[in-house]
Amino acid sequence: MNATARRVAVLGGIRIPFARQNGPYARASNQDMLTATLEALVGKFSLEGETLGDVAAGGVLKHSRDFNLTRESVLGTRLDPHTPAYDVQQACGTGLEAAILVANKIALGQIDSGIAGGFDTTSDAPIAINEDLRGVLLELGRAKSNTARLKALTKVRPGQIVPQLPRNAEPRTGLSMGEHAAIMATEWGVSRAEQDELTARSHRKLAAAYDTGFLDDLVVPFLGLERDQNLRPDTTVEKLAKLKPVFGGKEGTMTAGNSTPLSDGASVVLLSTDEWAAEHDIPVLAYLVDAQTAAVDHVHAREGLLMAPTYAVPKLLARNGMSLGDFDFYEIHEAFAAQVLCTLKAWSDPVYCRERLGLDAPLGHIDVDKLNTHGGSLAAGHPFGATGGRIVATLAKALKDFGPTTHRRHPHRPGRGLISICAAGGLGVAAIMEAA
Amino acid sequence: MNDRYQQLVNTPIGKIVSKQIGLPSPVKLERYERGQRVVSGPVLLGAAPGGRLAGATAKVLAAIDADVHTPLEEHVRTAAADARLDAKVFNPEAAPEDQAFKALVFDATGIERSEQLRELWAFFHPTIRRVRQSGRVIVLGTTPGDCKRPRQATAQRALEGFLRSVGKEVRKGATAQLIYVDAKAESQIESTLRFCLSPKSAYVSGQVVQIGISAMSANGIDWELPLAGKLALVTGASRGIGKAIAKVLARDGAHVLGVDVPGLHGELEETIGALSGSALMVDITGDDAPARIATYLLEEHGGVDVVVHNAGVTRDKTLGRMDEDRWNTVLSVNLTAQERIGDELLARDVIRENGRIVCVSSMSGIAGNAGQANYAASKAGVIGMVESMAAPVAKKGLTINAVAPGFIETQMTATMPIAAREAGRRMNSLAQGGLPVDVAETIAWFASPASGGVNGNVVRVCAQSLIGA
């Protein structure tokens, strides 16, 4: 066992453009998307025939047959088939959590390189048979005599033909993610205008990232799609203001514009030790410094479903002796514009910081110019498992471009980025990355 | 004593008719019941930046376990956090239309120039229509006389006109008060805030209260029984408002010594007996009355903590028809007796430390009233006594204050001619008469050991009556 942790280098990532539900990827499976994305990474970093330490990836909406999806995808690529793989699932935190898992094994000396990724399809979604019918069929299977089989079959009813569709609802509250976010928006007094402003900004920033060529080596075309299908480069606050609310009732402030759409896509990132990167002649873009997950009790306590990152980040900062202002980039996953705004308000609120986070003073304000500088999920879309990979790859490249900070007080410290991702079940995942 | 009009307009048909033809529609006011929460609904706390009372106010709101909301402004949120108040966030731009508050509380002490009065507009404009039935609007300011700069004093004085207008605008039994707090008297606001927020101040509106510094602290007080272990003397305690005062002071834990004329012996015994108090039969205008009362208090109780000068009489006649007897009786009972008893108690140090003197003035004493030259003179004199005695009693660690009741539903008002009665009842911000208990609750607030900073105040219990305003 290695006594000291090793630095974990982020060498880069790639993703396919994200598509809207039932769009160009309607007939693509999760495995199709992940395999294509992994294959693009293999091409980008010349990994043909390489045996990597691990490939960890996952998605939220999976078929039961896909118990080993990532391994199956690896076998479909030019990676050496001796490369192990496993599936990960932590709702919308999946992609970042996969990167943390791979990074931890690298840090511990268990592996020297690995790929982390995520995927999701809301189009090729699993449909389960009716729960009653499933009961009957299982009973049928258990039956040992024809009489018993016949008895089981008599329980089949016409209504049981209705299948079970996957629901975007919290099991313990019955509320959809959007309804939960609407409750948070109300609690924090988030206005419609603020949300639409953040949304328009996200589209502008992502469009610019495409136009300047920043995304050229981060996005690879798939099934004829070259850019994220959800991106509306010409959207404005005025256009967004015309949309009807979809969550929070008639007076609600949340629309299809300032909430992420159901999307399809996949993303992967390559991590390794410095030595492995040097041996393979791949430049290091950034380092994954540390990470923290947290959870809130959204069922019993007065806590917003998507507020867990507000707990994860202060712990992460304290452990690393940093403060909220010590970053050059903030990547806050835009599940809903309201989620981002609630998070920012919470961190600068003396009451929340003391009563919930147990801090003596507010965590601080974030300079909005440093937030999601290359666009966010509102513009790109949000295939649940794929968002973490998109963010890690984007931030790594942004940090590489940024180089050391020019800040007066820390003239030579490497550029720093903070990632914050909220997830279903009251979960939150956060990470710190630093420029190489 | 029944207000038939109020009952009528609160029937389903009455509500429609009164609304259609624009008649006043008095609601049934919420009144305090023992054990009740101070505020039975959400409270919105706001503050002008740079103020000094948001913190102290937040502490009181935390102490009464109020459901507090605040705008997401750092200075208010910091005050709330420091008071360990888990305050919710309110943003009128994003709030549902039906979100309403039981109380709006605004610290205006940060307003130092007239330009900054805009802060009042900014806070109240989007919230004033969000006040619930029997709601409360409370503005805290700095006593103009205690302001360092003329512009600050000017801006703070402006709060009065604002507040009195708000009192006339809020509906459905809601009230509005302005609390001026002297420099360094921040720690003295709790008893007054509690009173103004609670249903105890049901019939008090449009009032300006001043709070000064006091050596006494409210720490450790039992807010359910603030007068526990205290002796309270109440003159004219056998019936009407005096009876209500005795009841409320007893409820607050005091041992009540009821004083009344020998002729009302039976009624006094009945009232006081029910309160497990003591009764003393004495004509307060008698030459030896002050000495007898002082000696009784010293010998039987070792002193007194609260003295309520409630006894009063009317002998109405226009001045030309008023005989000297009417004049003398009213002045001697309503004013001279209070002065003589007060002087005796003070001279012999009968009133214990942190003691209270509470007088009963009247709306007539402020406004004057045809046929009540004697009565109005006596009640205006009471105000003069409060103002002139405030400083001397403060030196002894005591306070002196007065209530000035407006139209209170009593046996006396029940016999008034209907036109005068209806005018008295409706010509105020709540469009109804008050109850004796409303006067008593106000007296109990003055009497509280936590009200050491409340001295020299005359508070009207009149629902902001137009008369004398």
Nearest chain A residue to B93 by CA: give it: A191
Of A251, A253, A350, the CB nearest to B77: A350
CA distance B175 to B442: 14
Taking alpha carbons only, the member of A54, A48, A49, A29 closest to residue A116 is: A54
B113 shares contact with chain A (CB less than 8 Å) = no
pLDDT of chain B, 469 residues: tens digit per residue:
567 777 777 777 777 776 666 667 788 999 999 989 999 999 999 999 999 999 999 999 999 999 999 999 999 999 999 999 999 999 998 888 899 999 999 999 999 999 999 999 999 999 999 999 999 999 999 999 999 999 999 999 999 999 999 999 998 999 999 999 999 999 999 999 999 999 999 999 999 999 999 988 777 899 999 999 999 999 999 999 999 999 999 999 999 999 999 999 999 999 999 999 999 999 999 999 999 999 999 999 999 999 999 999 999 999 999 999 999 999 999 999 999 999 999 999 999 999 999 999 999 999 998 999 999 999 999 999 999 999 999 999 999 999 999 999 988 778 878 888 888 888 899 989 999 999 999 999 999 999 999 999 999 999 998 876 6
- Tell whether A89 is covered by a domain: no
- Tell whether A76 is covered by a domain: no
- The single residue of A92, A180, A203, A353 carrying the catalytic annotation is A92
Nearest chain B residue to A350 by CA: give it: B78
A185 shares contact with chain B (CB less than 8 Å) = yes
Local structure of residue B156 (DSSP, 8 states)? H
- Whether B18-211 shares its CATH topology with B231-461 is answered yes
The Cβ-side half-sphere exposure at A306, using a 13 Å CA radius, reads: 32
State the distance between the two ends of chain A, measured CA to CA, in whole angstroms. 26
- Tell whether A387 is covered by a domain: yes
B130 shares contact with chain A (CB less than 8 Å) = no
B96 shares contact with chain A (CB less than 8 Å) = yes
Inter-chain residue contact A251 with B96, CB threshold 8 Å: yes
Inter-chain residue contact A253 with B94, CB threshold 8 Å: yes
Which CATH number does the domain housing residue A409 bear?
3.40.47.10
- Tell whether A71 is covered by a domain: no
Split into its structural domains, chain A has a count of 1
Beta-carbon contacts of residue A47 (< 8 Å; ≥ 6 apart):
A41, A78, A79, A270
Nearest chain A residue to B90 by CA: give it: A189
Nearest chain A residue to B72 by CA: give it: A349
Please return the burial class of A29, using the count of CB atoms within 10 Å of its CB with bins 0-12, 13-18 and 19+: middle
State the fold for domain B231-461. Answer: Rossmann fold (3.40.50)
- Tell whether A165 is covered by a domain: no
A233 shares contact with chain B (CB less than 8 Å) = no
Helix (H, G, I), strand (E, B) or coil at A292: strand
Disruptive mutation site among B44, B69, B72, B75 for chain A (greatest number of A CBs within 10 Å): B72
Chain A partners of B93 at a C-beta cutoff of 8 Å? 189, 191, 193
- Tell whether A342 is covered by a domain: yes
Does the structural domain B18-211 have CATH classification 3.40.50.720? yes
Q: What is the DSSP string of A230-282?
A: T--TT--HHHHHTSPEEESSTT--EESSSBPPPEEEEEEEEEE-HHHHHHTT-
Q: What are the tokens at A96?
A: 């970042």
Of A191, A354, A355, the CB nearest to B93: A191
Which range marks the domain in which residue A202 is found? 177-213+289-435
User: What is the domain partition of chain B in residue ranges?
Assistant: 18-211, 231-461
Of A188, A251, A354, the CB nearest to B89: A188
A347 shares contact with chain B (CB less than 8 Å) = no
Pairing mode, strands A263-272 and A19-20: antiparallel
- Tell whether A184 is covered by a domain: yes
Inter-chain residue contact B93 with A189, CB threshold 8 Å: yes
B59 shares contact with chain A (CB less than 8 Å) = no
